[in-house]
Amino acid sequence: MGRSYKIILGALLALLAMLIFLEANQKDPVNWYPSYSITDKIPQGTFVFYESLEKVAKVEQVNIPPFEFLEDTSTTGTYFFLNASVGIDAAELNKLLKWVEKGNTAVISASYISYPLLDTLKITNDQKIRKNGLENIPQYNFANKDLRSEKYYEFNRDHTLEYFDSLNGKQQKVLGIAKVKDDNSLQNDSLANFVESKFGEGRFLLHSSPQAFTNYFLLDGENFEYAEKFLAYLDLQETIYWDNHYKNGKIIHTSPLYILLSNRYFKWAYYFVIIATILFIFFEGKRKQKSIPVVDPLRNQTYDYTRTIAGMYLDQKDYRTIAQKIRDHFFIFLQKEFKINVKEQKNYRQLIEQQTKISSEEIDLLFDQIKALEVKPSVTKKDIEALNRLIIQFKKNM
């Protein structure tokens, strides 16, 4: 690789490293999703408000729909709904109305509140949009002169102002007001965003500006005072039931295991299946195979053949031929082990002595015996046995 290529490669690697560094140190964009979840610390979560509420009142979280929660008719206190929209259906509304009618309180803070509830309470709502500007900055305050602030509490972000535009006389009371910043229209004064509506022995507290309880709003300047003054309308001696069902940021269980584990009987059945599976794997899951048949080793046919030929010579008492076979077999052994050809090399005895630990006397005794049998007129069985003993002794002493 040439020098110019190395320089270009180094520059590219440095550029890549710089891009990776800049990307890794880049701040994550602000998440403005209106979750209204008590666990979210994003701008439009309600972590700060809920944490403050727990310090001044007994709060219980409700993770099931109001229809199921209100099945327990002995429940008393304040039911607090806070979300961008609260769409209570007809069946839930009937239970909620009966519950409030007994002397309980329902707080609903939402930009959209279901029409059946508003219609029952004979309340209508509307929106306020600034016509002489590009931004709608809502501002909030209280109607009560003891709670009203000289300076409106401002949600410093473009947001449509929702308000209640008609009330039902003696049954409703305006508790809070709102307006759009820098809007000079006549309809901008004293728009009701927080009203009380009596129902039976209980009451509904309807609030159309849920963003006033978000982290972003409460941590901006003196806005935390708005939440403190709002709580003045609640009975903090009673239990406050905090709704987690009508929440944009609620946790949704998508796993089928949630269905199994939420029921005690299904849960234990699931655990027993897992335990049984583990036990099966431990005791019966080992690899099994068919028994391996016993294969007899191959017989040494050479050995049988040698015994047969030797038996033939013994039967015929041809001891000379047997002596020759023993001699030839011994010479072949020397050829393979020591590369010594007895028939062609005259100094084979000296070569054997050099390559083995056998003495010259023992070597001479063995080869003299072989020569003696070659010229002997008659070879006996004892001669063969003597020769065989000498060869065996030779191999032991090598």
| Residue in the structure block whose two tokens are 């209570």 | 88
The rounded distance, in Å, linking the Cα atoms of 398 and 340 is: 15
Asked if the 47-246 domain carries CATH number 3.40.50, the reply is yes
Is the pTM higher than 0.75? The answer reads: no
pLDDT score of 307 more than 70: no
Q: Dump pLDDT digits (tens) for 250-302.
A: 665 556 676 677 777 787 888 888 888 887 777 666 666 667 788 888 776 66
With contact defined as beta carbons under 8 Å apart, do 250 and 37 qualify?
Answer: yes
DSSP secondary structure code for residue 2 in this structure: -
With contact defined as beta carbons under 8 Å apart, do 34 and 211 qualify?
Answer: yes
Beta-bridged to residue 59, according to DSSP, are: 240
Q: Output the six-digit token pair for 27.
A: 């701040």
Q: Give the model's confidence band at 215: pLDDT under 50 very low, under 70 low, under 90 confident, else very high.
A: very high
pLDDT score of 24 more than 90: no
Q: Give the model's confidence band at 354: pLDDT under 50 very low, under 70 low, under 90 confident, else very high.
A: confident
Amino acid at 388: N
Q: Dump pLDDT digits (tens) for 58-82.
A: 999 999 999 999 998 889 999 999 9
Amino acid at 292: I
Enumerate the domain spans of the chain: 47-246, 253-277, 301-396
| Residue in the structure block whose two tokens are 């004979």 | 122
Q: Dump pLDDT digits (tens) for 169-191.
A: 678 899 999 999 888 776 666 79
Amino acid at 315: D
| Residue in the structure block whose two tokens are 């110019």 | 4
Q: Positive or negative CA dihedral for 190, 191, 192, 194?
A: negative
pLDDT score of 112 more than 90: yes
Q: What is residue 322's three-state secondary structure? A: helix
Query: Phi, psi (5° rounding) for residue 256?
Result: -60, -20
